[in-house]
Amino acid sequence: MTKSSENDFTTKGNILNSALELIKTEEGLENITLRKIAALANVNVALINYHFGSKDKLINEALKVLLASFRETFLILDNLSIPPKERLKAFMVQYVNSVLKYPGLVREIGKGNISFESQFEYKNYMETTGFTIIKDTIKEITGEKNPDILFMMMMQIHAAIFFPSLMACKKNVSFIWNPIPIEEQIDYLFEHYFAKYF
């Protein structure tokens, strides 16, 4: 690697890391500007455009990096020495805690603001996020074989845990209840949701 390409790589990484930091600290992606990113990365705006083409492309790249980093939390689901219900709970606790570091990220995913260049890239994203592993774990718990029902169950469990957690961490939102710790929420959900399987 030449000195010039090393500098480009370092600068590009620095810009991307600055965008990631702003995603973590800003209230909404719409509040992140190229000027804020440039100031944090100690570069000029033209250099950001050179490396990424636009703010949207940079933010999109940063969001994909964040999503890929959550893949690590799925590793618990691969540990077959732990009973499936306990694996799913451990995964959910770890995943909620990871996601809550970047609440704006979930909002952007919900809005459909992460775009993929091709079907291959989207397929790769879906595989790396581990949704198949979650469905397989639910299948192991319930014995359900219908993929549509498994997907529905996965989405219901996801919504039941993540929605209250995200609402509780929002600023300027008066919540009508004091959320109990995530572990207790999951125990309560599983006790009722999976009752007929035990």
44-75 pLDDT, tens digit per residue, is 999 999 999 998 889 888 877 777 767 778 88
Residue with tokens 């306990």: 86
- Read off the amino acid at residue 177: W
For residues 153-181, average pLDDT: 73
pLDDT tens digits along 171-180: 555 555 566 8
The pTM of the full predicted model, rounded to 2 decimals, is 0.66
pLDDT band at 118 (very low <50, low <70, confident <90, very high): very low
Give the per-residue SS3 of the chain.
Answer: CCHHHHHHHHHHHHHHHHHHHHHHHCCCHHHCCHHHHHHHHCCCHHHHHHHHCCHHHHHHHHHHHHHHHHHHHHHHHHCCCCCHHHHHHHHHHHHHHHHCCCHHHHHHHHHCCCCCCCHHHHHHHHHHHCHHHHHHHHHHHHCCCCHHHHHHHHHHHHHHHHHHHHHHHCCCCCCCCCCCCHHHHHHHHHHHHCHHHC
Q: Give the whole-angstrom CA distance, residue 51 versus residue 160.
A: 40
pLDDT (0 to 100) of residue 126: 54
pLDDT (0 to 100) of residue 104: 61
What's domain 3-53's superfamily in CATH? Homeodomain-like (1.10.10.60)
CB atoms within 10 A of CB 59: 21
* Residue predicted with more confidence, 91 or 24: 91
Q: Which residues contact 192 (CB under 8 A, 6 or more apart)?
A: none
Domain boundaries of the chain, sorted by first residue: 3-53, 66-197
pLDDT (0 to 100) of residue 32: 87
Q: Give the whole-angstrom CA distance, residue 36 versus residue 50.
A: 17
Of the given ranges (6-10, 83-87, 134-138), which has the lowest mean pLDDT? 6-10
